[in-house]
């Protein structure tokens, strides 16, 4: 993927998806408490849940279950604080296990169903440089595009997110970075910073989600 495709998708996303501003509203007012301790104030969780419901009215998050889940994964979240989608080592067993524990636990925060889509949204807000959001339509199209096998058990969707989806997003992120460095004669760090600046100061992980949303959900050419 060329970086220009990513930036064009960002422009189309903001023009075609009227709910895009809910993300800015939440992220600009999010507390720093998420990485300061494993006990979250309830008002902060409610604020997060309101954001999630602005995109998914069916979200069934249970506040107390979420508090317990987050407490169990906090140490893993803290260890991934400085990781980025384009540079994290997915071949590192410990790293993969951390991400799997985090995503698997947050999936369980629903009252009456596993929250595979909204777990990705939640964890993106906590670690916006690393976690890329997805939904059912994006999963379906990427499975077909990259010939992923359909999970036999629902629990395997967590493994699909960690070991198929995120590594695929990393490959695309690095294609974007390489295309920018080659065209603009700069190093990868400068490329990431400049792509982010030109993409509304969003992270690569967020811009990748917008690309997927435009291409697979809105069915528009980026």
Global pTM value: 0.95
**pLDDT above 70 for 57:** yes
| Dmax (CA) of the chain | 52
pLDDT at 150: 58
Give how far Cα 209 sits from Cα of 6, 44, 51, 129, Å: 10, 24, 17, 12
Q: What is the DSSP string of 27-81?
A: HTT--GGGGT-S---HHHHHHHHHHHHHH-TT--B-HHHHHHHHHHHHHHHHHTT
Contact call for residues 88 and 95 (beta carbons, < 8 A): yes
- What integer pLDDT is reported at residue 41 of this predicted model? 95
Quick: pLDDT tens for 80-114: 999 999 999 999 999 999 999 999 999 999 998 89
* Burial bucket for residue 65 (CB in 10 Å: 0-12, 13-18, 19+): middle
Q: How far is CA 116 from CA 103, 110, 187, in A?
A: 8, 10, 36
pLDDT category at 152 given cuts 50, 70, 90 is low
- Token pair for 185: 């004669």
Q: How far apart are CA 23 and CA 25, in angstroms?
A: 5
How far is the C-alpha of 10 from the C-alpha of 37, rounded, in Å? 33
Chain mean pLDDT for the chain: 94
pLDDT digits (tens, 9 = 90+) for 166-178: 999 999 999 999 9
Q: In the prediction, which pLDDT does 154 show?
A: 57
Average of per-residue pLDDT across 132-154:
81
């Amino acid at each position: 993927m060329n970086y220009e495709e990513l930036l064009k998708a960002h422009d189309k996303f903001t023009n075609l998806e009227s709910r895009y501003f809910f993300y800015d509203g939440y992220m600009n007012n999010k507390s720093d408490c998420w990485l300061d301790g494993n006990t979250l104030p309830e008002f902060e969780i409610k604020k997060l849940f309101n954001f999630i419901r602005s995109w998914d009215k069916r979200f069934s998050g249970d506040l107390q279950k979420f508090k317990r889940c987050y407490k169990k994964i906090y140490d893993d979240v803290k260890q991934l604080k400085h990781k980025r989608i384009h540079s994290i080592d997915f071949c590192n067993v410990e790293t993969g296990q951390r991400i799997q524990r985090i995503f698997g636990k947050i999936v369980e925060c629903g009252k009456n169903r596993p929250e595979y889509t909204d777990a990705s949204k939640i964890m993106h807000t906590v670690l916006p440089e690393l976690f890329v959001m997805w939904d059912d339509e994006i999963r379906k199209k990427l499975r077909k595009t990259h010939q992923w096998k359909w999970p036999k058990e629902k629990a395997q969707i967590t493994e699909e997110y960690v070991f198929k989806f995120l590594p695929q997003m990393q490959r695309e992120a690095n294609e974007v970075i390489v295309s920018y460095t080659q065209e603009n004669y700069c190093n990868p760090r400068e490329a990431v910073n400049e792509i982010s600046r030109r993409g509304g100061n969003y992270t690569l992980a967020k811009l990748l989600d917008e690309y997927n949303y435009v291409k697979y959900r809105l069915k528009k050419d980026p």
